Amino acid sequence: MRIAAPTDRKTEPGVVGSVLVEPDEARVLGSLADQLQTLLGDALSAGDVRDTALKRLLPDAYRNDPELADEWRRLSRGGLVDRKIGFARTLSVALQPIAASGQAATISLTFDAALDWVRGIGDVRLVIADRMGITVDGDEGAFSEPGVRDVYELLAWMQDALVQLLDEAQPPGATTDGSLP
Amino acid sequence: MTSLTAAAPLLDEKVDRQLDERVLHAAEVPWSTVVWNDPVNLQSYVAWVFRRHFGFGESTAHELMMQVHIEGRATLAHGNREHMERHAETMHEYGLWATVEKDDR
């Protein structure tokens, strides 16, 4: 995998960077993004979330007030889950053709797509960390299937590289996401 | 609605206290958005989210990120409850662990 800033911003307006993806990487990441969408979909149908990874993806907004926490869940969870599924779907849709064709390809990312990627990848990492038993800083985790740690590290590298792309493309402060500090 | 009225003030305290007492409208009660440490998200990512969403400069965002990392939590914003809930929801979109709490008074 290689994540790069565009060499010439004029040829592809709106593109903030590109990701060169190998077929194996597309298959693994695409599968994880698909699984994330299923997991999030379960949260909508389940009502009461018990999975610790889902609890981390969709934390209570109030720690010590069950009534406010319930109200918050009722009002915000559906929209939040939909948006998170959307982030993961952006990953799945982009990666699927590469996984299917078996040929490495370069994916061009707009600012919005890169924003979806960095958030979808962050959510996948949260779930993997939960499954690996990573609970405190510097934790190696208690268990993992072979290769899972490599994927977790690759996703960390991607998160950092995407932050750099987004930062160069549109330094924070230049625009906000519509909310006041 | 939150009232600052003490449950049962002693009689001789009551008059003095009344000078400071009034019922606050919900919008006036200060709340805050708190972000909690997690062992997963990268420091570069957390600092960038703070800059992007809250509009902090690089050094402030870095300090707050380090506060989260070292002390386990940092307060990112103060304001009315609805506004703090919106911040928390946006932090959740970014995968950060955020909560809303009432300010100490």
Give the nearest chain B residue to A78 (CA atoms).
B89
**Residue A11 in contact with partner chain B when CB distance is under 8 A:** no
Please give the interface size between A and B, counted as residue pairs whose CB atoms are below 8 Å apart.
Answer: 100
Q: Report residue A109: phi and psi, to 5°.
A: -110, 130
**Residue A73 in contact with partner chain B when CB distance is under 8 A:** no
All residues of chain A having their beta carbon less than 8 Å from the beta carbon of residue B87 are 179
pLDDT at residue B56, rounded to an integer:
96
Distance between CA atoms of residues B93 and B99, nearest Å? 13
Smallest Cα distance from B14 to chain A, Å: 30
Give, rounded to a whole angstrom, the gap between the first and last alpha carbons of chain A: 36
- Least-confidence region, from A70-74, A77-81, A177-181, B68-72: A177-181
All residues of chain A having their beta carbon less than 8 Å from the beta carbon of residue B99 are 59-63
pLDDT at residue A181, rounded to an integer:
43
Of A139 and A35, which is predicted with more confidence?
A: A35
Report residue A137 as tokens. 């800083």
pLDDT at residue B5, rounded to an integer:
46
Q: Say if the Cβ atoms of A59 and B98 lie within 8 Å.
A: yes
Q: Report residue A92: phi and psi, to 5°.
A: -60, -45
Distance between CA atoms of residues B1 and B29, nearest Å? 9
All residues of chain B having their beta carbon less than 8 Å from the beta carbon of residue A72 are 85, 100
Q: Report residue B57: phi and psi, to 5°.
A: -70, 170
Parallel, antiparallel, or unpaired: how do β-strands A15-21 and B31-36 relate?
unpaired
All residues of chain A having their beta carbon less than 8 Å from the beta carbon of residue B93 are 80, 83-84, 119
Give ipTM to 2 decimals: 0.90
Q: Say if the Cβ atoms of A181 and B56 lie within 8 Å.
A: yes
**Residue B67 in contact with partner chain A when CB distance is under 8 A:** no
Residue B27 DSSP symbol = G
All residues of chain B having their beta carbon less than 8 Å from the beta carbon of residue A64 are 101
Q: Say if the Cβ atoms of B55 and A126 lie within 8 Å.
A: no
What residue ranges of chain B have pLDDT lower than 50?
1-11, 15, 17
Q: Say if the Cβ atoms of B93 and A80 lie within 8 Å.
A: yes
**Residue B59 in contact with partner chain A when CB distance is under 8 A:** no
Q: What is the residue-averaged pLDDT of chain B?
A: 84
Residue with tokens 């600052």, as numbered in its chain: B4
**Residue B89 in contact with partner chain A when CB distance is under 8 A:** yes
Tens digit of each residue's pLDDT (9 = 90 or more) over A112-134: 999 999 999 999 999 999 999 98
pLDDT at residue A40, rounded to an integer:
95
- Least-confidence region, from A23-27, A65-69, B15-19, B34-38: B15-19
